[in-house]
Amino acid sequence: MTGAASIDWRLDIEAAARRLHEHAPHFLRETPLWKLSGRALGVEVPGVEVWLKLEHLQASGSFKARGMMNRLLANEIPDSGAIVASGGNAGIATAAAAHALRVHCEVFLPTVSPEAKRARLRALGATVVVGGEVYGDALAACLERQRESGALFTHAYDQPEVVAGAGTLGREIEQQGGLPDAVLVSVGGGGLIGGLAAWFERRSRVVALEPERAPTLFRAREAGEPVDVEVGGVAADSLGARRIGAIAWELTQRHVRDALLLPDEAIRAAQLWLWKELKLAVEPAAALPLAALQSGAYVPREGEKLCLIVCGANVDPASLA
């Protein structure tokens, strides 16, 4: 998929926000923006203010609800419904949107997807197909099935409507708190960082965060173009794309300077800290922004206002014990 440079992204994000407000006001939520002192999160740099964007409280448990519902609303849905491949969250969001619109949904998952996410999909009435080790395997099977069924294909991260829907999160942050100095966000296939980069452009510093074992954007920057990577680790179910999306690649090349890698140990420690200290039950992917701060991978400037995107809550509570 190409052509991201030719799209007026801010207009598309505004259109997505209007569409979602008009057609899905009881589905999408305005999630809280929680402002804390940096010291409350262990940051010793003077004057730092940290905004936690609690998007894990979004419908379906993640930011994905914005893009998936926007994709469905922007297109005619055939009788065969919608179809998606996912590590879990995009599938849950598509299934939840399809359920709200009363259309069928079929979701293809890799074997790395946790049972908690599969159970959630079944509860939403989706047809669940599990196969292949990682997201790319599930995607290949999904595309083959889509050719047979004619269902509306919803990509987990690499479609304009999906990226514009994710961009409404940036718009909401600005409406709630103004412009932060920096926005720290985890990256898998790139739908979320693409949407945030498209909205903030360079008015705020958008920082890409990836697990060391799933470095799609980092390796693409090393190679000068998107490349396939091996994926694994604690966040592989939601950040396990093999390659950065084409749209995200173009947008991050224009608007994102920093791409940082984090070890699994730091991600897991931040996830447990969020639960034990703030009682926020989130999945590993949602903990990368805090991990970047607490590990020292990202060092804020004095007086900086940082927005950490807490992106998803589809986690087995037992894993937080």
Spatial distance between the Cα atoms of 25 and 73, rounded to a whole number of angstroms: 13
Q: What pLDDT score was predicted for residue 203?
A: 98
Q: Which phi and psi (to 5°) does residue 198 adopt?
A: -65, -35
Amino acid in position 86: S
* Residue with tokens 């997505």, as numbered in its chain: 16
Residues 190 and 304 in one domain: yes
Tens-level pLDDT at each residue, the chain (321 residues): 457 778 999 999 999 999 999 999 999 999 999 999 999 999 999 999 999 999 999 999 999 999 999 999 999 999 999 999 998 789 999 999 999 999 999 999 999 888 888 999 999 999 999 998 888 899 999 999 999 999 999 999 999 999 999 999 999 999 999 999 999 999 999 999 999 999 999 999 999 999 999 999 999 999 999 999 999 999 988 898 899 999 999 999 999 999 999 999 999 999 999 999 999 999 999 999 999 999 999 999 999 999 999 999 988 888 998
Structural domain that includes position 127: 64-153
Single residue among 153, 183, 203 that ends a domain in this structure:
153
Closest CA to 232 of 210, 259, 258, 260: 210
pTM comes to: 0.95
Residues 114 and 246 in one domain: no
Spatial distance between the Cα atoms of 133 and 123, rounded to a whole number of angstroms: 23
Give the three-class secondary structure for 173: helix
Closest CA to 66 of 175, 195, 204: 195
Residues 128 and 175 in one domain: no
Spatial distance between the Cα atoms of 165 and 119, rounded to a whole number of angstroms: 25
Residues 262 and 202 in one domain: yes
Residues 173 and 315 in one domain: yes
Give the three-class secondary structure for 51: strand
Single residue among 98, 119, 153 that ends a domain in this structure:
153
Total structural domains within the chain: 2
DSSP strands (E only) in the chain: 33-37, 49-54, 82-85, 105-109, 127-130, 152-153, 182-186, 205-211, 258-262, 305-310
Residues 78 and 115 in one domain: yes
47 C-beta neighbours (distance < 10 Å), count: 12
- The two beta strands, 33-37 and 49-54, are antiparallel
Residues 211 and 109 in one domain: no
